[in-house]
Chain A
Amino acid sequence: MGISLSLLKRTAVEVETFVQRLDGRVKFLYFIWASILVYIFYDFILNLIFIIVTLLLAIYARVAKPIAMTLLVIIVPWIAIATPILSLPLGFPWNKTIIYYIKFAGYEIPVYLEGLGWGITWPLRIGVCISTAMLFYLTTNQARLVATMFKMKVPFRFIYMLIATFQLIPLLVDEANTIFQAQLSRGLRTDVGIIKKLYYYLALVIPLTLSALNRVQIRAIALESRGFSAPVTKTLMYEAEFKWMDWIFLSTIIVATIVLAYVYITYGYSPIAGLEYIWG
């Protein structure tokens, strides 16, 4: 069994903290709620607070590592690249407030607040979306995930499509590895420049596509043979229902929404960082 295939062993961490026990709908709501709020506000400190709260929940639920790693791989490099480009006089059209001068080779290079704020806020907004979505996915057991979506009246075919997609990715990675090894054995060169390497990697695309199509057809046959399209109400082994903990979490979200609405009305869209709004 390949490394990627072993991902299929568990898609949700099987520990039982209150985060895992929370109803999937509540965690999904937290993901949507946080993602919308960080777009309404334009404040990277508020975004950071959301990320920290999410990471604290993730640490408690023992799923912090994959979330932190994802943030490190996507968000940190993004900030590291975007902020210098946007905050230095390199053409970001909304730059006007100079907050600092960097002395370099006898020149004084200005650093602009607008570019800096934009370069930090946007990646952190995405970071909030990613971390809350991952918290939802990694702490919701697949059976509960299905039951949650079923309860939310999501058509079963769509639920299946979504879950199967998550499962198909590691299977395809495994398949790609096998095809890659086969092509290597047949003389595929890897000791070449990046452009040539990309060109050679095209050799993987056709067999992988065919293999994926074949797999999809076989999966469809297997499902059909097991009554997937039977015109009956499906039985789920897990029933999604709200418990007191869900109500408490939901109440916290409602209270936080009221507080943030008050903050927005009183202090505006950037209550802590005090940024001036630019598009986005």
Chain B
Amino acid sequence: MGEAVVKVENLTYSYPRRENVLVNVSFEVKKGEVLGIIGPNGAGKSTLCKALNGLVPHFYGGRIGGKVVVAGMDTMKHTVAELSTKVGLVFQDPEDQMSGLALTVYEEVAFGLMMLGFPREEIDARVRDAIKKVGLGGLEGRSPFELSGGQMQRLAIATVLAIKPEILVLDEPTAQLDPIGKFEVFSVIKKLAEEGSTIVVVEHEIEELATFADNILLLDEGRVRAYGSAREVLEKVDQLRKYGVDPPSVTELTYILNKEVGTDFEIPITIEEAYKIYAEALGVS
């Protein structure tokens, strides 16, 4: 991992009509790292995402304390438009990401680049590249509203990728999708993670998150309750439960076996790890 691309120091934020949505939040994300943010509803996860691209506080107003530096830019000192070239934010509902000005997938991906005044040739090259990356090749001429949920969310990711931001922020990108849609979107996120993209992702699908997140931050009532490597955070089953987060099934199962039956298994956080541990224990190759 390289230098820190995101540095959040003692971030405290209140909306104009809601106090202490974030309280003393600190963390950093290094280049090429995937940070997963978990926590119950209302924990402040989405607000934290919006703080990373300056929507908080530039768009919402409110009171803010602490510091958020993204790609060397202090979000307090730069506009959302300036930050949009550094931070790509993908919303929960892909329909929200659509510009309302594009009739085709191609035009939708091109929209952000058009707004930022990129030359036409570069827009074309970037759009084609982004569409290919998310596996929507062949659908360039299709209306965004003719796509399935998974395809539309991948399109939303493509709209952000085209701008080549230094950090990709995904706010519950699979929350509104069916299982196939979730699978499609996770495949794209995993591919991007493997390629070395810096990603901050809010996700309730802990089992999936465990397979590609380097670090995890557990947020509750606007406060950081746990922050560390995916393993350090996810293996603390009691802590997760306390804050209303379901641990991965295999983690929970092993934890219960160790606690109730007295086994001494290493705690797995993914199915692959669990398979290895249980296969060894059972003597199955």
Contact assessment for A142 and B101 in the assembled complex, using a CB-CB cutoff below 8 Å: yes
Contact assessment for A143 and B103 in the assembled complex, using a CB-CB cutoff below 8 Å: yes
Contact assessment for B99 and A226 in the assembled complex, using a CB-CB cutoff below 8 Å: yes
Knowing A142-B101, A222-B98, A231-B81 are in contact, say whether A9-B143 is a contact too (CB < 8 A).
Answer: yes
Q: Is B117 an interface residue (CB 8 A)?
A: yes
Knowing A224-B55, A224-B59, A225-B84 are in contact, say whether A232-B116 is a contact too (CB < 8 A).
Answer: yes
Contact assessment for B80 and A237 in the assembled complex, using a CB-CB cutoff below 8 Å: no
Contact assessment for A168 and B89 in the assembled complex, using a CB-CB cutoff below 8 Å: no
Q: Is A205 an interface residue (CB 8 A)?
A: no
Contact assessment for B89 and A225 in the assembled complex, using a CB-CB cutoff below 8 Å: yes
Contact assessment for B84 and A9 in the assembled complex, using a CB-CB cutoff below 8 Å: no
Q: Is B82 an interface residue (CB 8 A)?
A: yes
Q: Is B2 an interface residue (CB 8 A)?
A: no
Interface size class of A (residues with CB under 8 A): 35 or more
Looking at A11, A219, A230, A231, which has the most chain B CB atoms within 10 Å of its CB? A230
Contact assessment for B96 and A222 in the assembled complex, using a CB-CB cutoff below 8 Å: yes
Partner of B159, one of A218, A221, A226, A228: A226
Q: Is A185 an interface residue (CB 8 A)?
A: no
| CA A8 to CA B95, docked complex, whole Å | 12
Contact assessment for B81 and A163 in the assembled complex, using a CB-CB cutoff below 8 Å: no
Q: Which of B68-76, B118-126, B198-206 contacts A (4 or more CB under 8 A)?
A: B118-126
Q: Please name all residues of chain A whose beta carbon is closer than 8 Å to the beta carbon of B119 when the two chains form the complex.
A: 235
Considering only CB atoms, which chain B residue lies closest to A11 in the complex? B103
Contact assessment for B80 and A229 in the assembled complex, using a CB-CB cutoff below 8 Å: yes
Q: Is B97 an interface residue (CB 8 A)?
A: yes
* CB proximity of B21 to chain A, nearest CB, Å: 16
> Per-position contact with A for B74-118: 1 when CB-CB < 8 Å, else 0?
000001111011000101010011111111000100111111111
| CA A230 to CA B170, docked complex, whole Å | 22
* CB proximity of B91 to chain A, nearest CB, Å: 7
Partner of A237, one of B89, B107, B146: B107
Partner of B84, one of A1, A143, A227, A231: A227
Q: Please name all residues of chain A whose beta carbon is closer than 8 Å to the beta carbon of B53 when the two chains form the complex.
A: 225
| CA A229 to CA B53, docked complex, whole Å | 14
Considering only CB atoms, which chain A residue lies closest to B120 in the complex? A235
Q: Please name all residues of chain B whose beta carbon is closer than 8 Å to the beta carbon of A6 when the two chains form the complex.
A: 145
Partner of B115, one of A1, A141, A142, A230: A230
Contact assessment for A227 and B97 in the assembled complex, using a CB-CB cutoff below 8 Å: no
Considering only CB atoms, which chain B residue lies closest to A168 in the complex? B100
Looking at B55, B80, B85, which has the most chain A CB atoms within 10 Å of its CB? B80
Q: Is A164 an interface residue (CB 8 A)?
A: yes
| CA A229 to CA B50, docked complex, whole Å | 17
Contact assessment for B101 and A163 in the assembled complex, using a CB-CB cutoff below 8 Å: yes
Looking at B98, B101, B112, B116, which has the most chain A CB atoms within 10 Å of its CB? B101
| CA A168 to CA B113, docked complex, whole Å | 23
* CB proximity of B3 to chain A, nearest CB, Å: 25
* CB proximity of A233 to chain B, nearest CB, Å: 5
Q: Is A167 an interface residue (CB 8 A)?
A: yes
User: What are 26 A-B interface contacts by the 8 Å CB criterion?
Assistant: A8-B103, A8-B143, A8-B145, A9-B143, A9-B146, A10-B103, A143-B107, A160-B101, A163-B100, A164-B101, A219-B96, A221-B96, A222-B91, A224-B59, A224-B80, A225-B55, A226-B112, A226-B115, A226-B159, A227-B116, A231-B81, A234-B114, A235-B114, A235-B120, A236-B114, A237-B110
Taking Cβ atoms with an 8 Å cutoff, the residues of B that contact A are 50, 53, 55, 59, 79-82, 84-85, 89, 91, 93, 96-103, 107, 110-120, 123, 143, 145-146, 159, 163
